[in-house]
Amino acid sequence: MSVSTQCRDINELLPAAKKACNLFLEECKKAGLDIFITETYRSQARQSFLYEQGRSRPGQKVTWTKKSRHTSRLAWDIAVNPPKDLYDNATLKKAGEIAKRLGITWGGSWKGTPDMPHFEVQSNWTPPANGNYTAAEKSYLEQGDQGDKVKQLQIDLVKLGYDTGGVDGIYGKATANAVMVLQRRTGLAADGIAGENTLAKIKVLLEQEAKSSTPGKYRVYTGAFKTKEEAEKQAKLIGEKLGYKPFPKDKRVWTGQFTSLESAMIAQQNIRREFGFNPQIRQEQ
């Protein structure tokens, strides 16, 4: 990435900072603050490039240091959406107050060199369980979460034909991958976090399926490959890309079992679209 290009991807932050940033944005949204991320991770080369602006390069100074938590993937900057000014002080101050309640450092509170749009955390940051924010208020689910809400999410995903790696109430890597696959297929931001939009989409999909569901036991299978090894390879690729617990058998790739014809048909269509195969559906007794 060029030193003149900003990275706005929250996924480029370290896990603690990513979690803090997502929570911060969620709380800002609840407070009616219309903000957006302008930068997350910043390479050392870009940090040095910005430092030289207003010094050895033309332009106004934009940073006071060559060292920043941006380079450690522990910081992010924000701005304000129109019609307000890009760096509306009142909005940034409100965001700063929210950050303080969450244990996030706000650059606007620094003495001498305040940085109003800047927020950062330590690598061991954890969300507070008291004050104006409690874990029970979270409106999203993400990797690391556990409990009945996660279990219900897994049940819903399985109903829709997604592989969560089990229904155990633990939001692990397999569940996060299942959420990401659903997000990609439905045009949502693929971050693996089951937020408001993702949960609403799941609800709509479940309602659609319930109206026309054909219960039963179904598997999707491909045509025969030339070798056992090729079938094993394709099973692995399908699993990595789409899930469905595929396995090789008789030089074909078979999926795990679906509990409705509609779920199997979705898997059939996705395999055809992603791999160009012509898979079939078999009903099992």
Q: What is the mean pLDDT of each run of 10 residues along the chain (285 residues)?
A: 86 94 92 94 87 84 81 94 92 91 91 90 85 52 84 86 82 92 89 87 86 84 96 92 88 91 84 91 91
Q: Is residue 96 part of a domain?
A: yes
Domain stops at, among 118, 137, 156: 137
Q: Are 101 and 95 in contact (CB under 8 A)?
A: no
- Total count of domains within the chain: 3
Q: Is residue 123 part of a domain?
A: yes
Smallest CA-to-CA distance from 113 within 188, 63, 148 is with 63
- pLDDT of res. 133: 53
CATH of the domain at 267: 3.30.70.1070
- pLDDT of res. 254: 96
Domain stops at, among 185, 211, 237: 211
Burial environment of residue 50 by CB neighbours within 10 A (0 to 12, 13 to 18, 19 or more): buried
Q: Is residue 93 part of a domain?
A: yes
123 in the same domain as 15: yes
60 in the same domain as 113: yes
The strand pairing partners of 220, in sequence order, are 281
CA distances from 200 to 70, 206, 226 (A): 33, 10, 43
Domain with 249, as residue range(s), is 215-284
- pLDDT of res. 138: 56
163 in the same domain as 195: yes
Place of tokens 């070798």: 227
127 in the same domain as 31: yes
Q: Are 156 and 209 in contact (CB under 8 A)?
A: no
Q: Is residue 91 part of a domain?
A: yes
Tokens of 165: 């790696």
Q: Is residue 273 part of a domain?
A: yes
46 in the same domain as 24: yes
Write down the pTM of the prediction: 0.46
- pLDDT of res. 125: 92
Q: Is residue 1 part of a domain?
A: no
- pLDDT of res. 227: 96
226 in the same domain as 177: no
Smallest CA-to-CA distance from 157 within 174, 143, 138 is with 174
**Secondary structure class of 270 (helix, strand, coil):** helix
131 in the same domain as 17: yes
